[in-house]
Structure 1
Amino acid sequence: MILGTGIIAQDPSLSLGPWNLITVTGEVGLEGMFQQRETRYSELLDEQTSKYLIGGIRLHTSSYFWKPGILSLMLGGEYNPETRNEKYLVIPDRSEVRTLKKLDMRTTLFGDRKLNLTAWINLDQHYFNRENLTNIRTNNRQWGANLGSSNKILPFNLRYYTLNWDQQEIEAERTFNMAQQGLQARVTKTFHRHDKHELAYSYDDYHYTYSEPGEVTNEVYRLALNNQFFFDREKRFGSRSSLLFYDQAGTYTFNKVDAFEQLIFHLPLNVDLAGSGNFYRLEDSGQLITTGRARSEVRHQLYESLYSQVFSEYAATRHTLYREQEFRAGAGIRYTKTIPVGRINLEYRYYRHHNTLEGEPGTIHIVNEPLILDDGGGNLLSKP
């Protein structure tokens, strides 16, 4: 049995002083089920009686203060209780209760202007009870603000957020907590019609705690620069590059640099020439790894059916424990043909791969792994 109804109200003339209501939407629902089943397996009889009931109410309002576009406000709430009861003749009975509570609020200042500010709050709680097993209560709280500008000189976006999440197993007296906050900034700029540049910075602070024994805390700083540029109006010759700096301090400390550059040339007769290079460096408490990679490629498309490719790639890696060099070169061809009963795909690829590895025996550090594994030995794991 399912019962439900919706509520929609719209009256721009409804106002209280500077506050003006635009819309009110809502939903009320009720769903229930009763089931009785009898099952026989040879001489074994099993009976099951199930009762299932879920209800819910949801409400959302949209309004503004003074005039549209100056200050808007959106409010939303939700409440959903649920219960389930199952009785068996052979296996143990099961009884469950679930409840969801939710409240959302979002307000925007100067939403139709080039410079606008948005703030939000999201609160929700979820409760789950399974008889004779466990009771779990989960709380989630989020709030933050976003400042954006769409002006032509220097478009930017600035965002701050805070998140607190905790889960409690009531019967077992165990908790899991997560607290996170961060700041994100993004600036985009175009100097001509054929280029695009983006600079992004972010700071994130993480705290995790599970079942008392320890806390994981990390602070992450990230700086990224992305560029795209075309040398002609038809955008047949261009380049794309990215540069990333990543630094993390705390429980697991490491830093890395990742740089990438690519050149693409669309030549006449459906010939494409592409070249790319990549540099990667990562350092933590147990290792330092540096990798350089270069790739060149020539592609040709004949009509829509025949595609051919010639490529070469070289990579060099220097690790604390080893040094490695790789070289690959090859060619490939692919033929595709549509026939009345389907499609034919024929492909052939040939390449040579040369690899050189030099190193000394040593121990490689594994993150969050306190055990040391030996040949012919074992370790007994314990779970809190």
Structure 2
Amino acid sequence: MNFLHSTISTHLKGKHLSFENHVTIQVLHSQGQSLRQIARTISCSPTTIKNELERGQKSLYRGKHFRYDAPTAQERYQAQRRNCGRKCDFIAKSRFIAYVEQHFFNDDWSLDACVGEALATGKFTRDEIVCTKTLYCYVELGLIKIKPSDLPELLTRNLKSKRVRVNKRKLGRSIDERPRDILKRWEFGHWECDLVLGHKTKDDQVLLTLYERMTRKFMIIPIKDKTAASVMTAFNDLRKQYSEHWNDIFKTITTDNGSEFADLSQLEQVSKTLVYYAHPYTSCDKGGVERHNRMIRRFIPKGKYIKDYTLEQIYAIEEWCNNLPRKILAYHTPDELFERRLDCIYQIN
């Protein structure tokens, strides 16, 4: 055979069989050649020939006989190619997309909170939604109204070099003395504490923030200034609010070594609450409250006067944080879990 003028098409490795390959298989198979002979001619594996002969069978004489047919094999190949690959569910699941956009813009929910809450409450079934990762892909592709610039965490991540400072005062009991079980978040009543500043002037208000590690409950308490006296006044008012249940709700408080918390250890003299101070310049020791402080910055940017915001606006921020479904809480809200714990404490007492 003169290979320069041969009509037998060869198969390229890694490519699908073409219609010419199907015709070659039909001709050589009708001549009685073996699988290996056909495979050697087309330059493919004998297993490929075997599978192709099974897929391209056409029934003859009312299903009594079967024969490999090249057009039939090509039609089935094209049908399988149309069904292969991942399909975009954007149009089919437009109702869920509208639900996500509504909660994202109106309630400031994250994309993951929208997915988790929809499944947890039964508003949508698994087949009616797309996963969180797919939603972020839709944002990048511009398929939905949410833009990458609308995602508050997208452009705020900044990796800073680690700095070790040793000349920092220690105000009380170190966090090293805190029980290790607190890190597991199995027990209720362990809090983290911090301050959020507005404009760097002495005549502006300050926000005292508290974060419960188990339920993720977040409290925002406006105080008049950044002094130890103002901080202690806020804690004394809070202790009066919970009265005899204070020791069960506030078992420990972890804070930093700022001068505004210098008198916080006085709580140990009037209650069973233990106060722990984080390592110097180590904000990750109380990462929960730090993370929630960043959520406040979505509404009160740095440099803005806190005194320009009303109590209703500040408490609205607190309410939003506590009513946001959390993935780590199985898409329950911090308020739900906190109220359950309070009910248990009140019933026992």
Instruction: Give the TM-score, by structure 2 length.
Output: 0.18
Q: Which protein shows a greater Rg? A: 2
Q: Which has a greater percent of strand?
A: 1
Ranked by relative contact order (alpha carbons within 8 Å, sequence separation 6 or more), the top structure is 2
